[in-house]
Structure 1
Amino acid sequence: MRLEDYLVMAAWAVFSVYLYYVYGICISPGIFMHQWDVRYIDFVHILYNMAVGSVLYGSVISLTKTAILLDWLHIFVPQRTRNALAWTIYVLITINCLYYTAGILADIFECMPRKKIWDKTTPGTCINTNAGFVVAAVLNLANDLIILALPQKVIWGLHLTPSKKVGISGMFAIGIFACVCAVARLVYSIKLMHSEDVAYSVSPVGVWSIGEMTSAFLIVGVPSLPRIFKVPWVQSVFTWIQSLTGGSSKGTRESSRKGLPSWYKNAPTARRRQDDVYSELDEYRLEAAEMVYSPHNGITRQNKVEMHSSHM
């Protein structure tokens, strides 16, 4: 297993704990409850779950984004070539780890003693984290946009027909939903910062946070999406759906696909799979061709990446 696989498993474990605390709020006193309708002991429960959830959210996003960037490095940078894309990914991974580590520590040590974060009657001192909260949301959105744009830049620079570029680009465009969730979370975070009804205002922040984390897991799974349709029971489901919708008869091209969607490609041969440096995308093959050119200040090397479909 690769490093990104361990990161995703760790993120799933932390995400499960996050959902446990969200479920605790849903059970008592409930989400979208106005503060004046909540007993103080229940309000303390909300603030406690918010404090723990904030730390867990930062952990999940940090782990998943690092896994996504490592995946992009594996797919779009053949043989770890030190090109502009590779350095961009390395810088993003470094910033991602440092930024979320600092944010998690700030959440943990927001108040001294820490109990004062959720129980305001506890003697102690707290730092004002409102400005940092908004800045963190803005940086998080910027990070999402960059991660969304990285594969698109590579895909649209490949020598493929426009229809194939659109198809591959669409697979990696799931990140748009992550950006939408990040924007919504930023908007509601600003409202929460200025709201006196914390119990109510924190609810949409939590909902959009779940959406953002869920979309991050979907992005991680994009390179493995074609493999899903090779699972026998998945093929059976598509065949069953086709029979219900009046699919084509035997012997046609559609029936030979056993009910699979039109964009599904057959599994590559063993020889092709061995030569494929981009094994995460089974239906396409990326080949790296090395090109030498002579700039003004000397001779340098540059990698030219091309993608060829096996059905072109």
Structure 2
Amino acid sequence: MSSSFLEQPALDPPPGVVPDFVNTGGYHNFGYGLIIGTSVVSTVAVLARLVSSASMRKLLIEDVLLVAALGVFAGNQYITYDLSIYPGFWTHQWNIQNGFLPHFLYNVHLGAVFYGPTSLLIKVSILVNWLRIFVPKGTRGPTFWVLHTLLWTNVFFYFITTVTEIVRCDPREKIWNPFFEGGSCPINVEDQNIATSVINFISDSTILAAPQWVIWKLQMSRSRKWGLSLLFVIGIGAWVFGVVRLVYFIKLLSSDDATFLFSGVALWTILEVTTGFLIMGIPAFPRAARMLPMSDSVANFFQSLWSRSGLSNTQISTPQWQFYKPKSRRRRGLWEISEMDTHNMLSVSSTGGNSNNNQVNTTTGGNESDDAMKTHDDPTGTQIV
């Protein structure tokens, strides 16, 4: 392959446009800001979860999965940073040379490989946490089967798509080198990526709807149901970002300007994954905030915001017991809830709220037994009165 060919534009420019391989027109600072901002937000969300668990001297499986997801996500952030350096976000393909195209496509391939495990670890973490929150131990109701179906479907699907992405061409260099002669690519990567996006859409939609389905079956006032629903509304962000990512990916399949449209795929993928970390991290923020200096001021800030939003009567937080010590009779704060309250809420959700004997416990005291407290154990996940 001649050096003159490698120095030519990777795509014929439109009439009247002169390729510029130095000033590509890409947005470098946008890429840096996106990577730094989403990395900080994701890390803070995971740290909040870990600090919350540490305060209870308990590390849950979803915490470990979340840390692993953050590690894989760091790999994706690195390759996006590399592309931000050159050619930059939203660079047209005629402003890069043929010689750079294999490097660009190799990073695209790595991004596809990193995306599967990252999404899988986050979704499994969310689903395991919601099984802990919404399904009482020993029960096999509709919520149990829906969440387990989602969990194992995601495990199977992401495992298959990640493996096929890695081995889709023989030899593998043909995946990222369009100038490689010989070999074969028997797997249709376009159909696979469309299937991945569609499965993500269905999965995200179901994950978004599952807690709302449980919450709106509870026996409590409509205003309190709205308050609880808003705690899980962050999932709408992941759903929206996933839909926009699918739109950009479909456009990418029908366009020759891959470097330009791939910027949209990368942008919305990063935002989708970051929102997944927030789904797990936000419920842990109140407890983590109490571990910081001036925690009372931080808690008062949260409480003032909650009061102004009209949700001051909705009590949401994590349990305050430790080693099953008896509870004090003091009035509970905004961010406090007992394990007995959670167990009663779960009893209502599992029976559809039709039994008069299963009422949501809204008392401020209570003579909870140790056995009742042990039935549902989630010191860091969201607990609902």
TM bin (shorter chain): 0.7 to 0.9
Give the drift of 1:158: 0.9
Q: Which residue of 1 aligns with 2:342?
A: 286
- Tell me the alpha carbon deviations over residues 227-276 of structure 1, each in whole angstroms, 9 at most, x when there is no partner: 1342343636648x97xxxxxxxxxxx9xx7x675347798664997699
* Structure 1 residue ranges (4+ consecutive) displaced by more than 3 angstroms after TM superposition: 231-239, 259-276, 281-284, 288-291, 304-312
Preserved CA contact (<8 Å) 1:286 1:305: no
The one of 203, 222, 240 equivalent to 1:162 is: 222
Give the drift of 1:223: 3.3
Give the drift of 1:131: 1.8
Q: Which residue of 2 aligns with 1:11?
A: 69
3-state SS of the aligned residue for 1:121? coil
Q: Counterparts of 1:20-169 in structure 2 under 5 Å?
A: 20-123=78-181, 124-126=183-185, 127-169=187-229
Q: Which runs of 5+ in 2 are unaligned?
A: 1-58, 328-334, 349-354, 365-384
Preserved CA contact (<8 Å) 1:283 1:309: no
User: Alignment length, in residue pairs?
Assistant: 282
Preserved CA contact (<8 Å) 2:68 2:121: yes
Compared CA separation, residues 269 and 32, structure 1 to 2 (3 A) = closer
Preserved CA contact (<8 Å) 2:212 2:229: yes
Preserved CA contact (<8 Å) 2:228 2:316: no
Compared CA separation, residues 309 and 27, structure 1 to 2 (3 A) = farther
The one of 262, 265, 276 equivalent to 1:202 is: 262
Preserved CA contact (<8 Å) 1:283 1:310: no
Give the drift of 1:283: 3.9
Give the drift of 1:68: 0.4
Preserved CA contact (<8 Å) 1:65 1:216: yes
Q: Counterparts of 1:267 and 1:112 in 2: how far apart (Å)? A: 51
Give the drift of 1:287: 2.7
* Identity value in percent: 35
Q: Counterparts of 1:169 and 1:265 in 2: how far apart (Å)? A: 11
Compared CA separation, residues 20 and 165, structure 1 to 2 (3 A) = same
Q: Counterparts of 1:60 and 1:66 in 2: how far apart (Å)? A: 10
RMSD of aligned alpha carbons: 3.0
Preserved CA contact (<8 Å) 1:155 1:169: yes
3-state SS of the aligned residue for 1:81? coil
Equivalent position amino acid for 1:204 in 2: G
Equivalent position amino acid for 2:218 in 1: L
Compared CA separation, residues 222 and 232, structure 1 to 2 (3 A) = closer
TM norm structure 2: 0.66
Preserved CA contact (<8 Å) 2:135 2:144: yes
Compared CA separation, residues 290 and 260, structure 1 to 2 (3 A) = closer
Compared CA separation, residues 90 and 111, structure 1 to 2 (3 A) = same
Equivalent position amino acid for 1:151 in 2: P
Compared CA separation, residues 78 and 33, structure 1 to 2 (3 A) = same
Give the drift of 1:310: 5.0
Q: Which residue of 2 aligns with 1:308?
A: 361
Compared CA separation, residues 119 and 274, structure 1 to 2 (3 A) = farther
- Tell me the alpha carbon deviations over residues 61-106 of structure 1, each in whole angstroms, 9 at most, x when there is no partner: 0000001000000000011411111111111111000000111012
Q: Counterparts of 1:34 and 1:227 in 2: how far apart (Å)? A: 47
Q: Which residue of 2 aligns with 1:217?
A: 277
Equivalent position amino acid for 1:200 in 2: F
Give the drift of 1:33: 0.7
Q: Which residue of 2 aligns with 1:250?
A: none
Equivalent position amino acid for 1:308 in 2: N
Preserved CA contact (<8 Å) 2:320 2:337: no
Q: Which residue of 1 aligns with 2:288?
A: 228
Q: Counterparts of 2:362 and 2:232 in 1: how far apart (Å)? A: 17
Compared CA separation, residues 92 and 227, structure 1 to 2 (3 A) = same
TM norm structure 1: 0.81
